[in-house]
Amino acid sequence: MNAQSPIGVFDSGMGGLTVLDEIHQLMPGEDLIFIGDSKYNPYGTKSKEEVTERSIAICDWLVEKGVKSIVIACNTATSACVPLLRKRYDIDIIGMEPALKPACEKGEHQRIAVWATQLTLQEKKFARLMARYQDEHTITKVPCPKLVEIVEEDRLDQMDQIHTILQDYIRQSGPVDSIVLGCTHFVYYKDSLVKELSDRVSLIDGNEGTARHLKDILMEKNLLNERGGAIQWMNSDPSKIELSKRLYQRLENKL
């Protein structure tokens, strides 16, 4: 392993592309391997054991490919097994969790809705995170499985249906100051949510913070690469690779 070794990034499907995009923008010289596990998507409705099994299989493969670090671009997989993965491998494993802390730091007595998968919201990891803030803030958990399905089924252009689904989840959230997008799939809906919500409601996700944390670790270990920039596309369902590329280009075109 050296600075020119690639970084592995994986997700249950297409959501992690939003993290991949942040990493590539922040560190354009890094070679990246992206794995979407679309054959086994969604993770959010599976058991912790099933998600752990898939995560180990993917990480084993990435380690065999000589990656210098692995980013779990999936809040659900992080919630299910990040401590186990960090014990299993001798490279840095960067996980994600709903960005509740930044939402709470916006002021006193914040009203916050956390949109995530069912498994993320029911895991002990999120319960511990929520316990740190719930005495001072009002926090509402909102599972949003339909938002994952739309991305995975390549239906992001079905704006009428998306509007109806977003309005339902907004109603479930109640009056809020912030919505935390606790699943990487949900970042695709930011533009639509801006149109649906009051200007007073903030949208917060953890993608940028994850990318910066990765860069800090690589800098500390003198492992930053400035001479690469290639992206290798992998998927447990090979028919989804072209969709991965299209969705990634969609993110790039917004810049």
Conformational region of residue 222, where left means phi above 0, alpha means psi within -120 to 50, and beta covers everything else = left
User: Quick one: CA dihedral 8, 243, 183, 48, positive or negative?
Assistant: negative
- The low-confidence residues of the chain, meaning pLDDT below 50, are none
Q: Output the pLDDT for position 199.
A: 84
Distance CA 78, CA 12 (A): 11
- Tokens describing residue 191: 């533009």
Question: In whole angstroms, what is the distance from residue 96 CA to residue 244 CA?
Answer: 20
Strand partners, 10: 35, 72
Q: Closest by alpha carbon to 176, among 112, 226, 133, 230?
A: 112
For the chain, the structural domain boundaries read 7-97+207-253, 100-204
Omega before residue 42 within 30° of 0, cis: yes
Tell me whether the CATH fold assigned to 7-97+207-253 matches the one assigned to 100-204: yes
Which of 74, 81, 104, 144 is an active site residue?
A: 74
The 10s digit of each residue's pLDDT in 125-168 is 899 999 999 899 999 999 999 999 999 999 999 999 999 999 99
Active site residue 144: no
User: Can you give the pTM of this predicted structure?
Assistant: 0.90
pLDDT of residue 154: 92
CA dist 99 and 179 (Å) reads 10
Class assignment of domain 7-97+207-253? alpha beta
Tokens of 253: 């075109």
- Structure tokens that stand for 67 in this block: 């990656």
What ranges in the chain are assigned the alpha helix state H? 17-26, 48-64, 75-88, 100-104, 118-122, 124-131, 145-152, 159-173, 190-196, 207-220, 241-253
Name the catalytic one among 59, 81, 104, 183: 183
Task: Just give the CATH number of 100-204.
Answer: 3.40.50.1860
* Residue 67 CA to its chain's centroid (Å): 19
Q: What is the predicted pLDDT for the residue at 255?
A: 54
